[in-house]
Amino acid sequence: MVQGRHLRLDPSLQRLIGRQSAKVRRLLPSFKPHDLDLHVVVEMLPRGRQCETVLVLMVPQTAIRVRKTATNPSTSITHAFHELLRRVQKFKSRLAR
């Protein structure tokens, strides 16, 4: 689910979200697609004209939540997905133990 608050998600931002979420799915091949649920919320904050991206990835064992703020929506989305990828790697290493 992708949601924009106080911001219109143009096609370029939607493509960026699609590419980044595909990377997350490729990192978790052992889970079926219906087992993974990714929520993306991109919001323009009134203070300082900053953009905040919140990602919540629901997997069967846990939920991984990431929140990043930047001055540009695409930068905020990119940084949030990088952090999510890092946390997914950490989650996978814990599963392997």
Question: Which domains can be identified in the chain, with CATH numbers?
Answer: 2-96 (3.30.160.100)
Q: What is the mean pLDDT of residues 20-32?
A: 91
Q: What is the mean pLDDT of residues 38-64?
A: 93
Q: Return the DSSP state at 29.
A: T
Please report which confidence band the pLDDT of residue 49 belongs to, taking 50, 70 and 90 as the band edges: confident
| Count of beta carbons in the 10 Å neighbourhood of residue 27 | 14
Global pTM reads 0.92
Tokens at 30, concatenated: 């052992």
Q: Is the pLDDT of residue 97 over 80?
A: no
Judged on CB neighbours under 10 Å (0-12, 13-18, 19+), 24 is middle
